Structure 1
Amino acid sequence: MSTTDAERAWRAMSDLVLSQDRKTAVSEALGLSFARVQALRRLAAGPLTLRALAAKLLADPPYVTLIVDDLEQRGLVLREPHPEDRRAKLVRLTREGEAAAARADAILGEPPAGLRDLPPEDAATLLRLLERVGGGA
């Protein structure tokens, strides 16, 4: 079975992304598990109910409740009444939570040295190709 250039490119991209241990770096920097970091990042877009947050995290609601309990104890999130549903609570970031989410995004968005060191024209070509392959996503 021969390996196509497309398969080799995919493996190279996967290896590059997966070899960057950003999860550990962001968890250590914030003193939070990666699941908690992901919760902060999802809440940065705006308040969510626990159920909606669980859906975005692809996690069980009871587990997300534990995550939110911990983030609330750390002063990173607040629960507040839902304006339209008395049975639901909205979870939103505090200022400290917003800062932590922004720091997480900065750490996770930092490209590896090999990508940072590409000549600008090569980086532009790579970006154009990836956007083309990903449909602009």
Structure 2
Amino acid sequence: MAQILVVDDSSTMRGIVTTFLSNNGFEVVVAVDGVDGLLQLRRDPGIKLVLSDINMPNMDGLTMAEKIRVELGNRAVHIVMLTTEDNLQVRERGKAIGVTGWIVKPFRGEAVLGPFRKMCGLE
């Protein structure tokens, strides 16, 4: 069972993040958009953290986060946005939905290792 779900429509970004997290001891599963992300969450109850982009086709990251909280009723999973969006209104919408954290790209993995380990129950 995976601990982290990485959701991003960019295969390059999925690869960078997944490789870094896997190399640092996390079990990772990936999704290409919010629709795929919800499917992966339904399949794997072991996911403790969703790391998602916002701007994606089919379903954006904030809509997916809202569906995780409302439709799936999942309050236990942490949701962290990994995005270029740094707009206060967008952040406030995320917070209201139940987004746990916000990382503005580019991804600097070393800074997130401790918090991610805590979110996944590894520390």
Please indicate, yes or no, whether the TM-score normalized by the shorter chain is above 0.5: no
The TM tier, using the shorter chain, reads: under 0.3
Larger radius of gyration: 1
Q: Which has the higher strand share?
A: 2
Q: Which has the higher helix share?
A: 1
Give the TM-score taking structure 1 as reference length: 0.25
Give the TM-score taking structure 2 as reference length: 0.27
